[in-house]
Structure 1
Amino acid sequence: MTEQPRHSGRRLLVLAGLLVVCYAVAGIGGWASADAGDVYGSLNRPTWAPPGWLFGPVWTVLYGTIAVAAWIVLRSPGSAPRVAMAWWSAQLALNLAWTPLFFAAGEYGLAFADICLLLAAVVVTIVHFSRTSRGAAVLLVPYALWVAFASALNLSIWLVNT
């Protein structure tokens, strides 16, 4: 009987750790490009570009789902999530690189290359997660769709502002 609560406590610690990692990526990206709102506002953007205020709430939700999806994979019984989590880590690193490339460095072409790699890594992560948990894979679909949209926006901004 005492095994279950301790095991549940460990699971919650793992979830908390994954949330910290994901929101740290967001925080580091924000810190590395503190004037992102001003930069975004100064760019020539397509008419379909969302307002700058929308990015914060969307990414807040997405980072939470990225963490929960990884948590589901890690706690799935009998799973061997090593490869899936390697892809999860790779996509998170590419995610981390994009914000400073785009906003701080103004390297829209490099940022586009990064976000294309990010999208590919997210898709591969979804495929690997689906082998362990369909639910975890489904949690990453909105993230993939948002990154695909952001890729098109990045390309459009790059082409119009260079």
Structure 2
Amino acid sequence: MKFYTRLILFLIINFGALGLGIILMNDGPRASWYLSLDKAPWTPPGWVFGFAWTTVMICFSVYMAKLTEAKNNKVILLLFTIQFILNVSWNYVFFNQHNISLGMLNLIVLLMLIAVMTFKFKSQLKIYSIFILPYLVWMLVANSLNGYILYTN
């Protein structure tokens, strides 16, 4: 499969994950439960989340399309699948079920997984490794926001 075919496939899957997450969040950031929480002073305005996730998923799709050029994709696809499940399930756990602690655990595991992917495949991808960095940085931000909510509420 050619790079651009894989890129389109990963764009569809990753943006599908965002769409599924929106469905599972049950009003999410507009719900009275979330609006009543004490949030971090560095919580960005709502539009930043959409911009950040769009950027993250475009870059991550490029990263995955390049990474899956390898011959043995079983480990790569397993890590991607786990990432997909964690990414989508956070929306349900945090916004739908209001489980801040489990949401925090979910984000910690997702951050660790993205960090592992960042460093494990760095020598293989070389310069293309930069395409996972927005995801890693956004996971640090997300962990700090969720952690603040957990600590103060």
Separation in 2, partners of 1:148, 1:88 = 19
Please, which runs of 5 or more residues in structure 2 have no aligned partner?
none
Task: Identify the residue that residue 61 of structure 2 maps to in structure 1.
Answer: 67
| Superimposed CA distance per residue, residues 87-140 of structure 1 (whole angstroms, 9 cap, x where no aligned partner) | 232222211111111111110000000000000000111123213202332211
Residue pairs, 1:10-159, within 5 angstroms: 10-39=2-31, 40-75=34-69, 79-159=71-151
Q: Which has the higher contact order (CA 8 A, sep 6+)?
A: 2
Separation in 1, partners of 2:120, 2:65 = 14
8 A Cα contact 2:22 2:91, kept in partner:
yes
8 A Cα contact 2:10 2:64, kept in partner:
yes
8 A Cα contact 2:107 2:139, kept in partner:
yes
TM-score by length of 1: 0.84
The structure whose Rg is larger is 1
Let me know the Cα RMSD of the aligned residues. Answer: 1.7
TM-score by length of 2: 0.89
How many residues are aligned here?
Answer: 151
| Superimposed CA distance per residue, residues 124-162 of structure 1 (whole angstroms, 9 cap, x where no aligned partner) | 11123213202332211121111011101101112222x
Separation in 2, partners of 1:53, 1:11 = 31
Separation in 2, partners of 1:123, 1:146 = 12
Identical-residue share of aligned pairs (%): 25
Please, which runs of 5 or more residues in structure 1 have no aligned partner?
1-6
Task: Identify the residue that residue 3 of structure 1 maps to in structure 2.
Answer: none
Please say which of residues 143-152 and 11-20 is displaced more in the overlay.
11-20
Report the CA distance between 1:67 and its aligned residue.
0.9
